[in-house]
Amino acid sequence: MTADRCGVAAVAAHGLPGVGTRRGAAKRRSAAEWSELRRHVAHQRLGGVLARAIASGAIDASDEQARDAYALAMEEAATDLLLERALLRWSAVLESTAIPYRVLKGAALAHLVYPEPAVRSFGDVDLLVRSAELDAAVVAFTRAGLQRRSPELHPGFDRRFGKGVTFVDSDGWELDLHRTLAPGPFGLRVDDSGLFAAAPEWLTLGGRTLPCLAPTDMFLHACLHAVLGDAEPRWGALRDVVQLAHDRRVEPHEVITRARSWRVDAVVARAVSTAWTLLDVDADLELVRWAQSEQPTRRDEHLLAAYGSGRSYARLAAASLPEIPGWADRIRFAVWHANPRGRTRRPAQHIRRVIRAAAGKPVPR
């Protein structure tokens, strides 16, 4: 569970709907305490939130600390602007090849969901394409000069089983090209074709309009990212859950219905409950009452554990195997993990390792 290191929760909660002022939040910190707080705030990309909390008086700070917070906020804002320029370039690559896409997280949430973009900083660009068009998008970005961070496990693996592909450009900026909304077994459950069926929200940026997910899908993605994105939820991801839960465009019944149809209701319920608890949200919403009454199945508890503190690529791969529809694709998944690009002459031994891991049995080194 996310730890409230040095009072960073008070910063993360600031300005959210349904959140009051934290007790002790206004206490001025010593130089050492401030340094620790700033380090965690910078890691969580909450500089803009911290600067506004100080300006409003919610957090007491010396003049020097206030200037430090403002400088951090400016650094984050400068990064956001550079990433928005990258977003315009990279979305144009997809448009030039007539590949439909959706902008995820980052700039979409900053401009469409939060009261001001500066309180939702981000560190990369996320774009979603249909699974069937992932390979074409990879070719387009490669021709545009971007490089993959890691090679494909096997030809055809990414569009069938992966979350997507990560690219980096010559300046070090990162593009996450998604075909689904989460890694591992829960990502395989998402109906990615349905994400393009709903009418998009439109982001106006640099004189262009870019398509984003529909509000319900934005909320579901925020929940998946908060719980499955990192072993320990990031404060910014929990903020997204709270902010979107209060958005009038997000209809609770539609959220619950979609979550159940994707079989990610356990993830969504955990995201809402965790965000409400850790950020100390007072608002009594229908989604919160539903989340607090949900009981995950044994299978879902097992899958959620694979994303936790013992998280690894191998563990998520093993947990994914039963979620793959059809034995032919399950065999491909196991064989391609066991023998990526035909590198080993003993694939059977590696397949047995995957099967043992999927069964929760120890895997010999």
Helices and strands (H and E) in the chain: how many? 17, 7
Q: How far apart are CA 259 and CA 107, in angstroms?
A: 24
| Listed residue (18, 20, 26) closest to 7, CA to CA | 26
Q: How far apart are CA 103 and CA 125, in angstroms?
A: 8
Q: Per-residue pLDDT for the chain (365 aa), expressed as one digit of tens each?
A: 455 566 899 999 999 999 876 544 567 889 999 999 999 999 999 999 999 999 999 999 999 999 999 999 999 999 999 999 999 999 999 999 999 999 999 999 999 999 999 999 999 999 999 999 999 999 999 999 999 999 999 999 999 999 999 999 999 999 999 999 999 999 999 998 889 999 999 999 999 999 999 999 999 999 999 999 998 999 999 999 999 999 999 999 999 999 999 999 999 999 999 999 999 998 789 999 999 999 999 999 999 999 988 888 888 998 999 999 998 998 888 888 876 665 555 555 655 665 565 555 555 55
The pTM score is: 0.91
pLDDT of residue 284: 86
pLDDT of residue 85: 98
Q: Which residues pair with 235 in a beta bridge?
A: none
pLDDT of residue 1: 47
Q: How far apart are CA 203 and CA 217, in angstroms?
A: 15
Q: Is 23 helix (H, G, I), strand (E, B) or coil?
A: coil
Kindly report the backbone phi and psi dihedral angles of residue 154, in degrees, each rounded to the nearest multiple of 5, phi listed first: -160, 145
Please report the sign of the dihedral spanned by the C-alpha atoms of residue 208, residue 211, residue 215, residue 218: negative
Contact present, 141 and 93 (Cβ < 8 Å): yes
Q: Is 213 helix (H, G, I), strand (E, B) or coil?
A: coil
Contact present, 91 and 127 (Cβ < 8 Å): yes
The CA angle 44-190-312, to the nearest 5 degrees, is: 50
Q: Which residues pair with 175 in a beta bridge?
A: 125, 167
Q: How far apart are CA 33 and CA 43, in angstroms?
A: 16
What ranges do the domains of the chain cover?
Answer: 5-323
pLDDT of residue 26: 62
